[in-house]
Structure 1
Amino acid sequence: MEKKMLKTGYFILLLSCFALQLDANPGLKVRITQKGLDYGWKVGLENIKQEIQNETFQSWSDRENFGLVKFDYTVSGLRMNTVEFPDASVSLIPGTGIKLAIEHASATFHANWSIKTWLVRNHGGATVSLSGVFITVIFQVSRDNKGRLSMLFHNCRLSIHDVKVKLSGGASWVFNLFAGYLKKPIQAYLDKNLCPKIKHKIQRMDAELRTLKVLSQIDAFAQIDYSLINSPAISKTYINLDLKGTVYPAGNRTDPPFVPDPFTLPDKNNSMLYLGVSEYFFKSASLAYYNAGAFNITITKEFSTYFMPTEVTPNSTIPEVLQLVQNYTMSHPLMLTLQSTAAPMISLQTSSLTTEITGYLEMFSVLPNSSLQFIFAGNLTVNTSANMTISKQKLIISLLLKRFHFSLTSSGVDFSEISLLENFLSCVLWNGAIPAINDKLRKGFPLPNQAQTKFIQPVLEFNQGYLLISTDIHYTL
């Protein structure tokens, strides 16, 4: 039951973990709307119903008076069997946290009983029925000193309108005369113990949250810091979470030499979840991958594989390039090396994300004895646009070649016309270098989400300085 309650709490909050950085703009923003909270609470109630039969309470004993007769009783094995929540809601308390309310609930318990008087002793089973149950729980949503999400119990109120007790087994037909005297102590016991149990579960959820890591590994090159930089901002209709959203090289937590610009999520509430991914996030990713050497590539291919017709390299130009270079290389495989000379520049506009990659390119022919024959080298600037998709809660980026500029520094081939070299490079970039970079990016960037959840029909919208992701959520029990 406790594990299910922990999962329920995590899902309602849709978070995993976060670390501390005060007085800074976020690289990522997360907004959980009322629609998202309602769905999370609905799933949570189903979780509770499935596991409720495992909830047990401690035994207790006491003494009651029945007229002139005193009897001692013990109630043990009190276990909840069924529960119904006809009217349940979740709401936000601005500046504080989350309020869970259950009204007109009903429940049945099974228990064992034993009664003894000066004259007789007996024991059996009992069915306890509750009706008109009202529960209100408030817990604060905050951040611990390491930037992880924190849940603090604030308040719990419980009222039970009616309790019915029916004894069975033993001489229950006699002792049912005493059943009415058990209503009051059973109700008092439940009043005393239900809220502490709820408090304990919230404390358990908070303890689990404090054990979660704040870094998410992307691949061998980079990791993301999803830490909270300040406490969640809670309004009447949504929770806003500001995350650091910095991408670091794997094993290196040095902050980049730039900071996030402020940005604001639009006033929308049609989706359960909104994610704002800032330009800073992509810039830090660019720097992290550059520092990790991800943009340094070496490719060896058969010559002909570079010359598949594309929009960039029309059919009419290919024979000239083939003849010029192939005569020189004697049809040997080609080796391309590209050393990036700076982190790619990133720009997020209202229509797309664009990058500018600069580097030094060299081309060789690989001879049969594995030695290299130099062909040409030069400085290269490549401009690309980026296609973005979401798959398995990851943001997948794929670069598309837009244009490039190449400055030849040395050559073993007589390129009498620079256009021939440009056509050749179009083939190399389109069919070699760009696919190699995309292959390193294909693992994607993990987005903030809870285990056992998936995004439903996410929509990506480019804005000046940030990418907005709008999505609903599906949770698998």
Structure 2
Amino acid sequence: MVSSFISPLLLSLAACLPMAGAGNPGFVVRLTQNGLDYARQEGMRVLQQELAKIHIPDFSGSTHTHLGKVKYSFNSMTIRNFQLPSSQISPVANVGLKLSISGAFIEINGQWHVKALHISTKGGFDLKVEGLSISVGLKVGSDTSGRPTIGLSDCSNHISDVKIHVSGKLSWLVDVFRHNVDNALRKAIENQICPLVSNAITSKLEPLLQTLPVTAKIDSVAAIDYSLTGPPPVTADYVDVQLKGEFFELSHRTTPPFSPPTLTLPVDHSLMVYFGISDYLFNTAGFVYYSAGKLVFNVTDNMIPKEFNIRLNTSSFGVLIPQLSKMYPDMLMKLQISSTLAPSLNIKPGNVSLSPKLDIQAYVILPNSSLAPVFLLNLTTTAVAKVTVNSGRIVGNLDLSRIQMDLKHSDVGPFSVTLLNVAVNYYLSQVLLPQVNQILNKGYPLPLLDKVQLTDVVLQPQQDFLLLGANVHYGKAENSTWVNKF
């Protein structure tokens, strides 16, 4: 029931809830009033169907009138119409969420039976419950595993009027005890609503929230910690959600030697949900893969496109470094490219860049397949990053914009690295970069539960974080629109 209302809400939060510690989060989700309103609209249709299943029990009684003792019973009652025309959900600062329903009405059919004196008669009735209002308070939090929790903080309901129309012989007898009927039906309905709300939260919503994937495995090396780090701070305008947002090594988890920056999300609330994705998330990825020794790439001649004239062998390189071909005539070579530091992403308004520092160790492949080191280059490059979102994943692509090389060591005598510039540039851009981009194009998953689709996505680099704004669609996947504003 109410779980069916709240689950789209929490799904659109994409896994929400904030940080309990003193540190900053690596990932922030902001649910705006537009997001809450969408969740309410999606949920009210289901809620209406669930509330229509309220059981109206048979009831009977007796009363003394000027006719003597009158016995009555009402049975076979079914709800034929249940409408929730007006509802509202809003964040309540420092409390949680408040769902208010007003103007609801229920139409019920049933049978009646009356015995008075020596008279026994029966007939049908139509009953309309009007002015039903329901108020539900929800408190959201997180458990020790970092998964979200939700509980009923308060619940109340009220029926303003009950109207009954009876048919059949001697239907006027019902007027004698109409007040008893009104009170009995009012009490039967009012007593069921809040227990049903509480049961729905316990039996349906909380198990659903426990399915939240707080750990997203990326590969055999790393995973992302999307655990919730505390109960959410709620303002009168939005719900801000804070997640750990941190890569970690599966085999050996260590604390990164840096902390997340403070994220200040803009006040624009035109979309339903906003994600603040800190550079901390990306930089912990660099730290993890560097620490695991995975940022090492090999380039061999068979990887060089046939149309490129400078082959990766001592004959081609001997034109640039004569001593090389003298020492190792007509032999294949291999380049081992490794990062000397964990790569760090730099996010600024309108720009995302990476400036990795690399070592390029050149080897000659000897006839016995062993490797002979010949020279070591130190390389600093700047790459412009293009970040997009596709099917709930953050994906990236790098373009090299600047390369600076220095010779760190040579086993074949001194030479000018400028002579190698064309070849190294080509190897990096045409061989290494496609390998890196193939990995980046697989992307990192956003913390979304099943059946949540992001649409109308806008991505903007801010200071130290990416701002991702989107509308939400709950249900079967459909085509989405992705827009990048940089």
1:219 touches 1:443 (CA, 8 Å); kept in 2? no
Q: Structure 2: which amino acid aligns with 1:235? A: T
Unaligned runs of 5+ in 1: 309-317
Give the Cα separation in 2 of the matches to 1:165 and 1:366.
96
Quote the offset at 1:428 in angstroms: 0.9
The number of residue pairs the alignment matches comes to 461
Of stretches 371-380 and 287-296 in structure 1, the one that deviates more from structure 2 is 371-380
Matches within 5 A, 1:185-204: 185-204=184-203
1:218 touches 1:443 (CA, 8 Å); kept in 2? no
Quote the offset at 1:386 in angstroms: 0.9
3-state SS of paired residue (1:305) = coil
Name 1:250's counterpart in structure 2. Answer: 250
Name 1:97's counterpart in structure 2. Answer: 96
Q: Structure 1: which amino acid aligns with 2:197? A: I
Matches within 5 A, 1:78-477: 80-109=79-108, 128-165=127-164, 173=169, 177-178=173-174, 180=178, 181-204=180-203, 205-210=205-210, 212-300=212-300, 302=302, 304-305=304-305, 324-325=316-317, 335-363=334-362, 371=369, 376-378=374-376, 379-408=378-407, 418-476=417-475
Give the Cα separation in 2 of the matches to 1:44 and 1:403.
52
3-state SS of paired residue (1:302) = helix
The structure-2 alpha-carbon separation of the partners of 1:294 and 1:121, relative to structure 1 and needing over 3 Å to count, comes to: farther
Matches within 5 A, 1:64-83: 64-65=62-63, 67=65, 68-71=68-71, 73=73, 75=75, 80-83=79-82
3-state SS of paired residue (1:427) = helix
Q: Structure 2: which amino acid aligns with 1:231? A: P
Q: Structure 1: which amino acid aligns with 2:263? A: F
The structure-2 alpha-carbon separation of the partners of 1:6 and 1:265, relative to structure 1 and needing over 3 Å to count, comes to: closer
Of stretches 94-103 and 403-412 in structure 1, the one that deviates more from structure 2 is 403-412
Q: Structure 2: which amino acid aligns with 1:182? A: V
1:52 touches 1:82 (CA, 8 Å); kept in 2? no
Quote the offset at 1:376 in angstroms: 4.8
Name 1:314's counterpart in structure 2. Answer: none
Unaligned runs of 5+ in 2: 320-324, 477-486
The structure-2 alpha-carbon separation of the partners of 1:79 and 1:340, relative to structure 1 and needing over 3 Å to count, comes to: farther
Quote the offset at 1:430 in angstroms: 0.5
Q: Structure 1: which amino acid aligns with 2:384? A: S
2:95 touches 2:139 (CA, 8 Å); kept in 1? yes
Quote the offset at 1:20 in angstroms: 6.7
Deviations 1:329-385 (A, max 9, x none): 999987543333331133222232222323433456779x99366585424433322
Q: Structure 2: which amino acid aligns with 1:451? A: D
Give the Cα separation in 2 of the matches to 1:117 and 1:251.
82
1:17 touches 1:226 (CA, 8 Å); kept in 2? no
1:359 touches 1:381 (CA, 8 Å); kept in 2? yes
The structure-2 alpha-carbon separation of the partners of 1:62 and 1:212, relative to structure 1 and needing over 3 Å to count, comes to: farther
The structure-2 alpha-carbon separation of the partners of 1:467 and 1:302, relative to structure 1 and needing over 3 Å to count, comes to: same
- Do structure 1's residue 38 and structure 2's residue 37 form an aligned pair? yes
3-state SS of paired residue (2:418) = helix
Quote the offset at 1:190 in angstroms: 0.7
1:283 touches 1:346 (CA, 8 Å); kept in 2? yes
Q: Structure 1: which amino acid aligns with 2:219? A: D
Give the Cα separation in 2 of the matches to 1:121 and 1:288.
84
Name 1:16's counterpart in structure 2. Answer: 15
Quote the offset at 1:85 in angstroms: 2.4
Give the Cα separation in 1 of the matches to 2:200 and 2:62.
33
2:19 touches 2:231 (CA, 8 Å); kept in 1? no
Give the Cα separation in 2 of the matches to 1:37 and 1:444.
28
The structure-2 alpha-carbon separation of the partners of 1:30 and 1:18, relative to structure 1 and needing over 3 Å to count, comes to: closer
Give the Cα separation in 2 of the matches to 1:270 and 1:381.
41
3-state SS of paired residue (1:106) = strand
Name 2:483's counterpart in structure 1. Answer: none
Q: Structure 1: which amino acid aligns with 2:156? A: R
1:112 touches 1:123 (CA, 8 Å); kept in 2? yes
Deviations 1:412-444 (A, max 9, x none): 889965333121111111011121122222221
The structure-2 alpha-carbon separation of the partners of 1:6 and 1:115, relative to structure 1 and needing over 3 Å to count, comes to: farther
Q: Structure 1: which amino acid aligns with 2:261? A: D
TM-score by length of 2: 0.81
Give the Cα separation in 1 of the matches to 2:89 and 2:27.
26
2:114 touches 2:122 (CA, 8 Å); kept in 1? yes
The structure-2 alpha-carbon separation of the partners of 1:85 and 1:302, relative to structure 1 and needing over 3 Å to count, comes to: same
The structure-2 alpha-carbon separation of the partners of 1:403 and 1:194, relative to structure 1 and needing over 3 Å to count, comes to: same
Q: Structure 1: which amino acid aligns with 2:448? A: N
Percent identical across equivalent pairs? Answer: 26
2:35 touches 2:272 (CA, 8 Å); kept in 1? yes
The structure-2 alpha-carbon separation of the partners of 1:398 and 1:340, relative to structure 1 and needing over 3 Å to count, comes to: same
Quote the offset at 1:34 in angstroms: 0.9
1:19 touches 1:226 (CA, 8 Å); kept in 2? no
1:301 touches 1:335 (CA, 8 Å); kept in 2? yes
Name 2:61's counterpart in structure 1. Answer: 63
3-state SS of paired residue (1:154) = strand
Q: Structure 2: which amino acid aligns with 1:471? A: A
Quote the offset at 1:467 in angstroms: 1.6
TM-score by length of 1: 0.82
3-state SS of paired residue (2:202) = helix
Backbone CA RMSD of aligned residues: 3.8
Of stretches 82-91 and 295-304 in structure 1, the one that deviates more from structure 2 is 295-304
Quote the offset at 1:451 in angstroms: 2.6
Give the Cα separation in 2 of the matches to 1:33 and 1:372.
61
2:48 touches 2:84 (CA, 8 Å); kept in 1? no
